[in-house]
Each structure stands twice: as C-alpha cells, then as structure tokens.
Amino acid sequence: MGGSVGLKGTDGIDTLRKAIQLGATPTAPRRAVEALRELSPLRDSIELVTYPHDMGEEECKECGFNPVVIGYVERGKTSAADTKRAAEEMLLREVDLLLFTGGDGTARNIHEAVGQRLPVIGVPAGVKIHSSVFAINPRTAGQLAIAYLRGEVRLREAEVMDVDEEAFRQDRVSARLHGYLKIPYDAQLVQSVKVGSALDEDESMQAIAWEIVESMRDECLYIIGPGTTAKAVMKALHLEYTLLGVDVVQKKRLIVKDANEARLLELIEDGEAKIIVSVIGGQGYVFGRGNQQISSRVIRKVGKDNIVIVATESKMAALKGMPLLVDTGDREVDEMLKGYCRVVTGYRRSAVYRIA
C-alpha cells in the first residue's frame, strides 16, 4: 500500500509503519471485494475458508458469503508470517483453490508456504506486481476462479518474481526469480511477467537447475559437468562444487568433488547414472571441450539416453542455428551421440536440437 505515498512497496514492518504515518491506506480489502463479487454466482455451491478480520473474513461477509473462519490474527497487525501460516492451514484443509490479494511480496510468501502443492490466483493489489501469478485485475481474478472451479481451464506454472525494494526506491529495478506457483491459466485473464523483469542469465540457469533437481531420483548417480549452467544445479542443492571440474551427486548429496575419469568409471560400474552437461556458449560443444573427464568410456557406459544437456535459451539463440558438436576422441561414440536431442532450457521448458 506504499505506492500512493511514494514508498514503492511496504515490505518490512518499518516501511509499513512509515506508510501509515504518511497517510497510506490499504488497497487490498477493496480489491479483494471486487474479486469476491465475481464469485456470487457460486455463492450457494462453494465453501469459502478464510482467516479472521482484515485477512478475508470482513471482505467475504461484505460480499454476502458466510465463510468458515480459521486461525487467529490481531486485527490491523498482520505480517508475512500470518500470510504464510494462513496458506499452510488452507493447504492442510485441502481447499481446491487459494485466492490471495497483494503484490510480489505476498506471492513470495505464498510460494514459501505452499510451493506448487495448491493452485492459487493472485488478486493484484501491490506496488510491485512483476510476477505472472496475478490476474489482469481483481474482476478477472474472480472470473478465473469460477472458470477453474467449473473445470474450464487447466493449471500451469507461473513465475514468482520480486523486486529489491531498496534498489527500487533508488530507481534500479532488480527483479529476481523466486520460484513457481501453479495457477489456473487463461491468456486473456492472467498477466505475463513484466517485460522489464525478463529472466536474466542467472535466473534462467536457476530455472534450469530447479527442473533438474525436481527430476532427481535417489537411486540414480548424477555426474555434473563443468560450467555455470550445470553448476547451477549444485547451487540449487546447496552443495560444494568445482566450477571447472566434474562433481558427482546422489540422493542430493555430494559424493565426489572434482572427479577424474577413473573415479567416474568406478562410480558407474554398478547402477544407474546420468550425465548433466552444459553447452559451451558460442561454440556449441557438448563433449570434448573442458569436460574431458567425462570421457568416451564414461559416455558409452552411461548411455545416450541418460545424458541431459542444459543451456539457457539465450545461449542456444547465440548459436544462430549452428548444430551442437561433440569431439570425444572416439569416432564410434561421436556417431552414437549424433542426431536430435532434447536440451533443457528452463523450468518445464526444453528444445529439440541437432548434434552434428
């Protein structure tokens, strides 16, 4: 609610107090009411669950609903912790859809509380609304909720972005990707990520890392090649790593740091293994440049189907249509690797590309 008094948001209790001192009034209640009024056609067929007082109860009653009120908050003194707790309790109650009102900071709180375990729709009411989890406006949020509850739209992942408010107040936009929420999707009702907040290279690598980490299985050994894109996986796992070396992970734990070919061959002797390897920017090499530890013998043992190639979309675009390349020193293995392959380019995103 700090936008009207020039504070560019109210993340943090001190900033919130300052906004109130400057005469700011909350916009969320009014916008929540706008969204809830759209749900009127379903008033007799849905059950609304809400937190007390100004965290939803008052707005629901204003719109003629008789909500189930859970939890406890002190009127007028709610915080991010209350938002998270409310979302967690909604999840435990197995609600079908979580409707929240706020901005990017609130979306981030919701993400931290429920992740992708619960479908959500954001009713835009904050200063910072860079995330794509929000409807275009409060009315379309309500319309989207109805469409989802009637089974007319499907779910998809949407980015949760947040801007550094201090930087924002200094006229610097520093948006960061915090994760993804599941939202009902209709292109006409949901906003896109703000153009000025397009994922930069670091955020793209982080998105790739989440895709890889989510797919990891405990019984499988993961050979993580060198380079910043592949090592984003190690960062996502909060593990030590060698930027220019090869690290090995199993059960999301570091097994070997800076492994050589001999050690890799020992590790993959029994059991399943996968190789996570990044494309060298500008050149397009997948094997044979800077990752010789992952030798032709290692590749042959692991198998083509267990090789996961990762690259950001900008890196792939920079190749300008040139094919990917391999130079393992073993012609037979090179020939085995040639053909079309899948390249992971983001979270739930991939492209089909040719290795020549």
pLDDT band with cut points at 50, 70 and 90 for residue 128: low
What confidence score (pLDDT) does residue 322 get? 85
Whether residues 191 and 261 fall in one domain: no
What confidence score (pLDDT) does residue 122 get? 95
Averaged pLDDT of the chain: 86
Domain span at 281: 202-355
Residue 18 scores a pLDDT above 70: no
Whether residues 276 and 350 fall in one domain: yes
What confidence score (pLDDT) does residue 164 get? 61
pLDDT band with cut points at 50, 70 and 90 for residue 252: very high
Whether residues 315 and 262 fall in one domain: yes
What confidence score (pLDDT) does residue 132 get? 86
Which segment of 108-112, 160-164, 172-176, 304-308 scores lowest on mean pLDDT? 172-176
Do residues 35 and 139 lie in contact, with contact meaning Cβ atoms separated by under 8 Å? yes
pLDDT band with cut points at 50, 70 and 90 for residue 99: very high
pLDDT band with cut points at 50, 70 and 90 for residue 9: very low
Residue 16 scores a pLDDT above 80: no
Would you say the pTM of this structure is higher than 0.75?
A: no
User: Which tokens hold the place of 156?
Assistant: 């998809």
What confidence score (pLDDT) does residue 167 get? 54
Place of tokens 């037979």: 332
Domains: count for the chain: 2
Burial class (CB in 10 A: 0-12, 13-18, 19+), 211: buried
CATH at residue 88: 3.40.50
Whether residues 190 and 234 fall in one domain: no
Indicate the residue among 163, 198, 233 that finishes a domain. Answer: 198
Mean pLDDT of 171-178: 63
Q: Beta-carbon neighbour count of residue 148 at 10 Å?
A: 20
What tens digit of pLDDT does each residue of 276-302 get?
A: 999 987 678 899 877 889 999 999 999
**Residue 81, φ and ψ in degrees, nearest 5:** -60, -35
Whether residues 213 and 280 fall in one domain: yes
